[in-house]
Amino acid sequence: MEKFNITANFTVFNSNKELPKQDQELLLKAIEARKNAYAPYSNFSVGASLLLENGTIILGNNQENAAYPSGMCAERVAIWNAASQHPKLKILKIFISASSSKKLVDQPVSPCGACRQTLVEYEINQSKNIEIYFTGETGKIIKSNTIKDLLPLTFDNSLL
Ligand code: THU
């Protein structure tokens, strides 16, 4: 028997003001996208902005449905939006912002498992890390340099 440890690295920013200017703008875009979320059932709105290698910014937000499982998370709406329109361009960064009309979301909201799995697919295919920044409505912003820090022991197509 043997044991092993996995270390994940994160950077924490206390507010938007600690981010470089371009990243501040990307976070504002995620907030803007969040405000257009369609979340009448959970009242939990999420917005995502992606920066592509040519400078294009792609947005997404969660889209719910009366048949609950038919809804989709903001991150995957944004990633698939990017992949469908710009399949050859690498994704450099994703910014995620979440809020609720039921309570103040004052801590960083990290992407759900399915969105992590989706991000891994694109990160591996493009052979370049995707930076992930996530936050709530207020409070700290957490940055991860690669989706692998959020999803260690990844299942990916090399196993198939
Ligand atoms: N949601 C996202 O958009 N992204 C996540 O990573 C977590 C959850 C959405 C899905 C659903 O519309 C609402 O938040 C509540 O789960």
Tens of pLDDT, residue by residue over 22-41, are 999 999 999 999 999 999 99
Q: Ligand 1 in contact with 150 (CB < 6 A)?
A: no
What pTM was computed for the model? 0.97
Whole-number percent of the chain with pLDDT over 70:
100
pLDDT bin (cut points 50, 70, 90) of residue 64 is very high
Region at 104 (left for phi over 0; alpha for psi -120 to 50; beta for the rest): beta
Q: Please give the CATH number for the structural domain made up of 10-144.
A: 3.40.140.10
Q: Ligand 1 in contact with 117 (CB < 6 A)?
A: no
CB contact at 8 A, 26 and 93: yes
Q: Is 32 a catalytic residue?
A: no
Task: Compute φ and ψ for 51, nearest 5 degrees.
Answer: -105, 125
Q: Ligand 1 in contact with 112 (CB < 6 A)?
A: yes
One-letter amino acid of 45: S
What's the gap in Å between 52 CA and the centre of ligand 1? Answer: 23
Q: Ligand 1 in contact with 13 (CB < 6 A)?
A: no
Q: Say which of 25, 32, 53, 75 is annotated catalytic.
A: 75
Which atom of ligand 1 sits closest to the CA of residue 115? 6
What's the token pair of residue 29? 């875009």
- The residue extents of the domains of the chain are 10-144
